[in-house]
Amino acid sequence: MPDGDVPSGRLATSATEAVGQVVVASRVMGTLGDDLTLGHVSVRQADSTRIFIKRKGVSGSELTVNDVLELDLDDPSCLDTPGMHLEAVIHTAIYRSRPDVQAVIHGHPLYSTALSATDMKLEYLTHDSVLFRDGIGVYSGSAELVTNERQAQAVADSLGKCRAGVLKNHGAVFVGEDIRYAVLAAVTLERALQLQVIATGLGKLNPLSADQVDAIYPKKYQDRFLDEYWAWWSRRVGWLALNGGTTDDAA
């Protein structure tokens, strides 16, 4: 990927691509509301054990390529790297449990975190909610920080095959077959929950049927649409302006 080019949101075939994806995704997460310097995004380099992850000490919306750390899943001491987030173990546990996952996000978006503090569930009210037709995982083992292998594996287990999961009274995790889908899960769950809150205040909920959910999903969430979304996210966070170009070129 030449300097300045918008990183593809598809499988990262190089370290440069993976680092760029972490930066764009972190800045998108910042648009959902920065949680101080907390929260972290990671990307697995395709066909390797290399993971690239946001460092601690900076917010998502100010991340640059110089704020991304590399770790190797085969290295037992990989989480001891200076600048590593305390909860980076969430990422390594999910990657080891889910070979299909190529990107992981842990954060504390407003509506997803609020959901984690209730017994409510996501209702299939709109097209947004259909993305989560496999449900939302729930980790209820503890409300504490997830800092050890036992806790992290429990988070991975609670996620199952879902795209998103909540951590009791804590926050959420989002995963994807590439970074596009992980970011989409984070952005879309926030919107779906916000719409659910609004609808609940308006009257009796009228959820979609299971057949409707199954019919809508393949039309709404086509892979080619994800390229458009990723390009827009890159423009929104000003990737080219940050890297020597202009956002007008980020089509």
Q: Exposed e or buried b for every residue in 119-149, given b needs 16+ CB within 10 A? A: eeebbbbbbbbbbbbeebbbbeeeeeebeee
**Prediction pTM value:** 0.94
Tokens coding 102: 């190529």
Contact between 194 and 111 under an 8 Å Cβ cutoff? The reply is: yes
| Domains recognised in the chain with CATH numbers | 15-249 (3.40.225.10)
Q: Which among 211, 170, 22, 209 is positioned nearest to 102, based on CA atoms? A: 22
* Backbone phi and psi for residue 189, each to the nearest 5 degrees, phi listed first: -65, -40
CA distance 13 to 62: 25
pLDDT the model gives residue 44? 98
* Backbone phi and psi for residue 104, each to the nearest 5 degrees, phi listed first: -135, 140
Q: Averaged over 70-79, what is the pLDDT? A: 96
Task: Report which DSSP code applies to 7.
Answer: P
Tokens coding 70: 């590399």
pLDDT in tens, 193-215: 999 999 999 999 999 999 999 99
**Residues facing residue 175 across a β-bridge:** 104
Q: What's the one-letter identity of residue 14? A: S
* Backbone phi and psi for residue 42, each to the nearest 5 degrees, phi listed first: -140, 155
CA distance 102 to 185: 13
Confidence of residue 243 (pLDDT cuts 50, 70, 90): confident
CA distance 134 to 35: 28
pLDDT in tens, 4-16: 578 899 999 999 9
pLDDT in tens, 87-133: 999 999 999 999 999 999 999 999 999 999 999 999 999 999 999 99
pLDDT the model gives residue 244? 60
